[in-house]
Amino acid sequence: MLGSLAITSALFEPFRNPATPDEICSCLLKLLQVRGELQREANRNKTRVLEADYPKLWILTPTASEATLNGFRAILDQTNSIPGIYFLADYLRSAIVVIHQLPRTPETLWLRLLGRGKVQKQAIDEIEALPLDNPFRFNALLLLSSLRSNLEVNSDLDPEDRELVMRLSPLLSEQLQTTLQQGIEQGIEQGIRRERQELIENLLTVRFGTLDESLQAIIQPLVSLSPPEFLPLLMQLSREELLARFANQN
């Protein structure tokens, strides 16, 4: 098991290896405990909890046998569900997501990253093919980074998990370097704009004695210019000419 996640009105229980019946029962017990807490809180506050307010449980498992699914009466919703998602009885508000049965679509990519073997490799290939500055790629690699950390805690990795850690290491390192470089470039750009703004403010103050509201309104349009562009304008144009040219550019 990879550790449970609670997101708004849902509980996510991801498993690295196929979830056993006992593990699924433990997940259901946790769900019922949360349900009991909500009921007790409602009783204390003399309020009512609607059925829709109770959390849903999503058990994420790489594979699941027919015996396991049948044992929990987990069935596909033929009208609204995608392949691989099996729902338990309505009042249990639970589903077993069999990751290896999910279709290969962008919508299932997050889940397929938690699969094993070929399914997970294909999902990582899809992530790796995305541009380095793609937000989805960055967020997906954060998820994979957490997965790698969980795996590395275990000193007795099987060959498949060891291969996964080795593949993720350079991929995560590349993303980290890209993120750092973007941060550095953004910081440099922000620094340049601050220095440029200070220079423009000083020149306006020297020329016109004070920075009133009208002059402050033209600072940002001037900042967007390069020094060779704005310096001659600040030195040669009158106050009226500067206002006429830049006052309406915000």
What are 70-129's pLDDT values in tens digits? 999 999 886 767 889 999 999 999 999 999 999 998 888 888 888 888 898 888 888 878
Q: What is residue 5's predicted lDDT score, i.e. its pLDDT?
A: 46
Spatial contact of 204 and 212, defined as CB atoms under 8 Å apart? no
Q: What is residue 216's predicted lDDT score, i.e. its pLDDT?
A: 87
Spatial contact of 124 and 144, defined as CB atoms under 8 Å apart? yes
What are 32-80's pLDDT values in tens digits? 999 999 889 889 988 888 888 888 999 999 999 999 999 999 998 867 6
Q: How many CA atoms lie within 13 A of 224 on its CB side?
A: 6
Answer whether residue 136 shows pLDDT above 80. no
What are 143-172's pLDDT values in tens digits? 666 666 666 566 566 676 666 666 665 565
Answer whether residue 195 shows pLDDT above 80. no
59: region left, alpha or beta (phi > 0 left; psi from -120 to 50 alpha): beta
Give me the count of residues in the chain: 250
Tokens matching residue 98: 């069999």
Spatial contact of 31 and 11, defined as CB atoms under 8 Å apart? yes
Pairing of strands 94-98, 56-61: parallel
Q: What is the pTM of this model?
A: 0.59
| Mean pLDDT value of segment 180-205 | 66
- Find where tokens 């915000």 sit: 250
Answer whether residue 212 shows pLDDT above 90. no
For the chain, give the mean pLDDT.
79
Q: What is residue 8's predicted lDDT score, i.e. its pLDDT?
A: 43
Q: What are the residues whose beta carbons fall under 8 Å from the beta carbon of 39, sequence distance 6 or more?
A: 49
User: CA–CA separation, 87 vs 206, rounded Å?
Assistant: 73
Q: What is residue 28's predicted lDDT score, i.e. its pLDDT?
A: 95
Q: What is residue 52's predicted lDDT score, i.e. its pLDDT?
A: 82
Spatial contact of 132 and 180, defined as CB atoms under 8 Å apart? no
User: CA–CA separation, 234 vs 239, rounded Å?
Assistant: 9
| Mean pLDDT value of segment 204-218 | 81
